[in-house]
Amino acid sequence: MKKPGDRLGLVKASSEIKPSLSIDDAKDLTELRLRCEILESLLVQFPMPLWVKDSIGRFVAGSDAHFELMCHPRDKVIGKTVYDFFSEADAKRFSERDAEMLADGISRDNDHWTQDKEGRNRWILTQRLRILMPSGQYGIMSLGLDVTDRKLAEIAVLESEERLRLKNLELEEAKAKITLELDIAKALQISILPLIFPALPGCFAYARMLPATTMGGDFYDFIELQDGRIGLVMADVSGKGVPAAFFMAVALTNMRSLALHYPSPDACLTQVNNILCGQNPMEMFVTLFYGIYDAATGALSYCNGGHNRPYIRRADGSMVTLEGAGGMALGFMPDIDFEEDSVQLHPGDRLVMFTDGVTEAFNTGDEAYGEERLMAIIAKYGDATPQALVDAIFNNVIDFAGTAPQSDDITITVLECNGHL
């Protein structure tokens, strides 16, 4: 027989006590009590909470550590059941598991909260084994393990996970709200851009913008001026997203307003620049090409505030870059003079304006689309309608970029000169 401190040996020793007297056959209850005391003597010095219950659930033996855990002396526990020490619900749960184990012999663990003698809550995991009692009937031997620290850690983890779940839920709701608001803002931003070109004889134009984010900083405009002239705007605000979109709205609004009062491109950009410099707390800037096209004569006067130079695809297929009329981007410093230049458009010519999101579109190999590819696609589809040419450029840029993420807004406008008045 193993020593009493060895749990496995103790269980084995207890299960080897053979019956010679049953409860029903006992003639001398003193002898039965003596046999139980022998069993208890094997358990009493066990250093951990260890106890034995008989077939009807009464405590019949236990270690000193067990009675200390129950906060009751031995003589107040022996002969009692779990209903004397636990809540009705817990006692019923323990008793039902005991009955199942007595019937099939399959070990089942219990766990529950209890209080030690100092009133502290302790979480006890009970490991159980069916044994053969001295009475000849089955009983249950149980070993109690104090797993309070582990249980408290598990509870803390669960509480932390619940807090994290609720926080994530709040973040998802906030994200959905922000997404909705940005979608509304995007719709409003798009709504301030012209959807169609003004109905003017002798010319037609088409424009398209694809923001890199929910809201973009590029913008274009067709501004109807006096005497059948049309103001053509192509611009790119520094940065992306909401700040760029707000600055874009400010710049576009001022362009539309001042273009009606300043008939020349240079005077108009000078005034717009001064206003933007005074309404620029974030120190943003905008590159901007502004041209005034006279449909009656085909003359295009223009200024370029640091923007990409537009191309003219002539009716004979030749390509021209709008040189000169260079200048600083708007918003850097006030009182800047902009150089004005002019060019003549003929029937069949097409003016192509764009932002650097076209030429600086990158593919997965970190290669830029570049001006050569743009000029080649313009030359190839130069006889198409303005919309078809814009779509051809867009499709070519998108095919070139492949799966690479779009790094900047893409905006293109094509004006076709189809005759003079």
Percent of the chain with pLDDT over 70: 88
Instruction: Say whether pLDDT at 198 is over 90.
Output: no
Residue 5: pLDDT band with limits 50, 70, 90: very low
Instruction: Say whether pLDDT at 1 is over 60.
Output: no
pLDDT, mean of residues 304-312: 95
Structure-model confidence comparison of residues 198 and 318, the more confident one: 318
Q: Where do the domains of the chain lie, and which CATH numbers do they carry?
A: 7-152 (3.30.450.20), 189-417 (3.60.40.10)
What tokens does 221 get? Answer: 């405009």
Instruction: Say whether pLDDT at 283 is over 80.
Output: yes
CB atoms within 10 A of CB 281: 5
Alpha carbon distances (Å) from 360 to 210, 220, 390, 392: 14, 18, 17, 17
Query: How long a stretch of residues is the chain?
Result: 421
pLDDT, mean of residues 202-218: 85
Neighbour-count burial of 421, counting CB atoms closer than 10 A to its CB (0-12 exposed, 13-18 middle, 19+ buried): exposed
Residue 3: pLDDT band with limits 50, 70, 90: very low
Torsion of CA 210, 216, 217, 223, to 10 degrees: 60
How, if at all, do strands 299-305 and 286-294 pair? antiparallel
What's the pLDDT tens digit per position in 174-196?
A: 999 888 887 777 777 777 889 88
Determine the pLDDT at residue 340. 93
Residue 303: pLDDT band with limits 50, 70, 90: very high
Interatomic CA distance for residues 119 and 98, integer angstroms = 27
pLDDT, mean of residues 396-419: 92
What's the pLDDT tens digit per position in 241-277?
A: 788 888 898 999 999 999 999 999 999 999 999 999 9
What's the pLDDT tens digit per position in 92-127?
A: 988 988 899 899 988 877 777 776 666 778 888 888
Residue 70: pLDDT band with limits 50, 70, 90: confident
* 3-class secondary-structure state, position 258: helix
Please tell me the least confidently modeled range out of 121-135, 233-247, 265-279, 405-419: 121-135
Interatomic CA distance for residues 246 and 140, integer angstroms = 77
CA angle 273, 275, 281 (to 5 degrees): 100
Determine the pLDDT at residue 7. 37
Contact 390, 207 (CB under 8 A): yes
pTM across the whole model: 0.64
